[in-house]
Chains A and B, each alone.
Chain A
Amino acid sequence: MPRKLRKLALPMLEPRSFWEKSMKIKITQNQLDRRQFLDIAKWGMLSASLMALGVRQGSAGFGKGGGGGGDGTPAHPFQVTLTVTEALVEMVDEVPIYHWVYELSETTRAAGPQFPGPVLQFTEGNVIDLTVHNTLDEPHSFTIPDVVDTGPIAPNQSIVVSFAAPSAGTYLYFDSLNAPVNRVLGLHGAFIVHPRTGNTPFSRPTPAVLRLFNDLGGEDFPGDPWRRERDLIWLFHTIDPVFNEIAHEGREIDADQFNLEFLPTYFTINGRSGFFSAHNPDTAPRGTIGQPALIRNLNAGMAVHSPHIHGNHVYLLSENGRPEEDVNLLDTWSLDPLDRRDLLLPFIIPPDIPKTAWPPKEERFPLAYPMHCHMELSQTANGGNYPQGLITHWEISGLHGQEEAPPHGRDTRHGN
């Protein structure tokens, strides 16, 4: 019954997928001057400074540790070392799929390969000395469009780039080579920048965003203001194991063929699917009424997603780093490949519970609701297994004042 018409024989030349946006990265002369090429001995020395700066396993970069002065100039650049390596990533049905991944390197022990890559978090203006070491057999890179680009790193070579954390917001870092192949085979992660001041997650919020955040905790949103420790990341991704297997065999993948023939077969949020993303504390928001949470959406994959949330509408705050002039209240939003959209889950009383039936007596807290992609093909795994795809749950644990707001983890590492 299912169609099996996968042909992977002929390299196709035209046309490149129109979703794949032009990703030509401009490297300024300044950036080029600051780029250094290191041999492996120096790479080891540089990564030694990581521990001293308090980078924890699984995520890197904290605004506190940079010794930043009031003028925004840190005394010491942050040192971050990433290794481009390979791993077998077990899918929701335990099928292991070969991936290329970034690994955060530490001195005493390896953090382990991560899928997606480690969450990198900084404060606006922080200077970062990033070392990227490529242990694979083909060139790889580290790119944040309009922020930094290592350019191609040859096999068994390292590159150091120094750059400043840009305006506060949500960014995707990825390997931009052979686009979109290297990114989609696993070389991507979230890069988060926090503002130095203010009560919003942005450096320059629009008046509408500012009004909303000023209103949190007030009459219309009884409860808490926005709290950074409740922020979450939803990094959406698609996997077609046919191409991962080609990479596993050490064969080159033609980007045009990849664009034309990619059939999403596994769908992940933060590297997990279905039951596992629904019950992961770093992915599934939880709190009482009045404990809003910022959720940073990123799409590293190949499909246009249509995330839909039950229980509360969400405020769409920004699109691709730009705070919105009009903050729309939505239950479904679009997320194109490479898109980043920040939204606020207000944690209000679900509005369509009859007032006379609140608080519920015969239903118990926590009240659990799904958030899932409504392009329902994304709810599958390996062509079936609904809903083992792009889904998580969120939970209202009680009335406001019943519990302290739980922080949400930021370690989106897959597995142990």
Chain B
Amino acid sequence: MAKKRLLRTEGILAMATRAIRTIRRDPISDLAQFEAFACNVPHANPPTPDAKTPDVRVFREFRNHEIVTPDGRRIPMWIFADPQKPSSFPSEAMRFREGQLVHSTASLSVNTHTIHHHGIEPTPFNDGVGHTSFEPSGNYTYQFSTEVDGTYFYHCHKNTVLHFEMGLYGMLLIDPPEGEGFVRRANAVVPYDVEAVWAVDDIDPLWHDFHHDAGFSCPNGENAGLNDFRPEHFLISGVFSPDTREDPRVTVRARLGQTILIRLLNAGYTIQTTTFHPDVTPEIIALDGRTLGDPRHSRYSRPRQLLANQGIRLSSAQRVNLLIRPQKRGRFPVTFEYRQYVQGDLLHTAETFIEVI
């Protein structure tokens, strides 16, 4: 190919050309393999390989859902729901104890989806990634053990850029063997009194009218604008800002002397910084489902006390466990900054409160 170039010579534009070499894309060595990866992932509902008797079973079905913004706008959502329970966004949380063998069954009546239990590390068939396994169109049971206690989440891993945004995610919490109310800190299991789970998310309503296969076709799909995310709504655990200031699903209330555990997840596509009032400065005790200083696998790290006003910056899918032992009474603000992931523009600041009585 030749490059046309404008040369400025004594005020006259002259055309010149010179050869430009091309760095070619690799050839497609196996078309079926390419399509199975990119645009034609196999659909299947196999029996779970190497299935064992589970200690605990959970079930999730796909549902359409709707949420209403504070100004009355209705936003279509997709969620995973417990068949026995009403719909919710985020999707219904899963909660296990360390050391259980889990069967997590997805029931998919509408199109194909997967469940990836994020941070859980099973075999590829049980990992919920279409291009390293398959996409279920009916029922599939994911098998895994809960080897390490901590904060995880689960989400659909099909056209993830869209399906995660649509609400196909929920928390996945693994308690230490002592159960709920206990958390690992370094080499010990310690009790806590109050627990808060903050899944920090952002919504671009335009995307919520997209087709589930937006951007797909073989060999190359159309431009569906899935690289252009412009969130208009900012939420914590399904509560729209500014309702996060008052809604008990987000606000924390503890008595002086109690210990607070906060599980924080970036469930959005913005860069999020969470900053606590100095009187409730937390200690970071775990990252991504691994307890800092846990002698089993994390003895190269230690719990870390944050400095006053030091923010915690998370990119998408990062989790952190925070322990707070308030030393005085009061209503202490916590702020959540949402920044665009390229330009860094501050898009929104949400707020909630930790009230110590």
* A contacts, CB < 8 Å to B: 1-3, 17-19, 86-94, 96, 98-99, 101, 112-115, 137, 208-209, 211-212, 220, 238, 248-250, 259-260, 262-265, 271-272, 274-276, 278-280, 302-306, 308, 310-313, 315, 326-334, 350-357, 360-363, 367-370, 374-377, 379-388, 393, 414-416
Name the contact of A326 in the complex, choosing from B120, B124, B301 (C-beta under 8 A).
Answer: B301
Interface centre among B52, B132, B206 (most CB of A within 10 A): B132
Name the contact of B52 in the complex, choosing from A209, A274, A304, A357 (C-beta under 8 A).
Answer: A357
Q: Please tell me if B288 contacts chain A, counting CB pairs below 8 Å.
A: yes
In the complex, chain B residues 110-124 whose Cβ is within 8 Å of any chain A Cβ: 116, 118-124
CB distance from A365 to the nearest CB of B (A): 10
Interface centre among A3, A326, A332, A416 (most CB of B within 10 A): A332
Chain B minimum-CB-distance residue to A379: B161
Give the segment of B59-67, B74-82, B139-147 that binds chain A: B139-147
Known: A305-B315, A351-B148. Is A368-B22 also a contact (CB below 8 A)? no
Q: Please tell me if B287 contacts chain A, counting CB pairs below 8 Å.
A: yes
Q: Please tell me if B343 contacts chain A, counting CB pairs below 8 Å.
A: yes
Q: Looking at chain B, what size class is its interface with the partner chain? A: 35 or more
In the complex, chain B residues 159-218 whose Cβ is within 8 Å of any chain A Cβ: 159-162, 164-165, 206, 209-210, 214-216
Q: Are A415 and B25 in contact (CB under 8 A)?
A: yes
Q: Are B127 and A369 in contact (CB under 8 A)?
A: yes
Chain A minimum-CB-distance residue to B128: A310
CB distance from A225 to the nearest CB of B (A): 16
Q: How far is the CA of A31 from the CA of B32 in the complex (A)?
A: 55
Q: Are B269 and A89 in contact (CB under 8 A)?
A: no
Q: Are A383 and B120 in contact (CB under 8 A)?
A: no
23 contacts between A and B (CB under 8 A): A1-B209, A88-B1, A113-B21, A115-B23, A250-B6, A259-B343, A275-B38, A303-B341, A311-B127, A313-B119, A313-B121, A313-B290, A315-B300, A329-B287, A330-B288, A352-B122, A369-B129, A376-B269, A376-B316, A380-B226, A382-B220, A382-B227, A385-B215
* B contacts, CB < 8 Å to A: 1, 3-6, 20-26, 28, 33-34, 37-39, 49-50, 52, 101, 116, 118-125, 127, 129, 131-132, 143-148, 159-162, 164-165, 206, 209-210, 214-216, 219-230, 266, 269, 271, 287-290, 292, 297-302, 304, 313-319, 341-344
Q: Are A375 and B121 in contact (CB under 8 A)?
A: no
Q: Are B223 and A352 in contact (CB under 8 A)?
A: no
* 4 more CB-based (< 8 A) A-B contacts, given A250-B6, A388-B38, A415-B25: A137-B5, A211-B299, A326-B302, A386-B160
- Which residues of B lie under 8 Å from residue A264 when comparing CB positions? 227, 342
- Which residues of A lie under 8 Å from residue B319 when comparing CB positions? 332
Q: Are A370 and B125 in contact (CB under 8 A)?
A: no
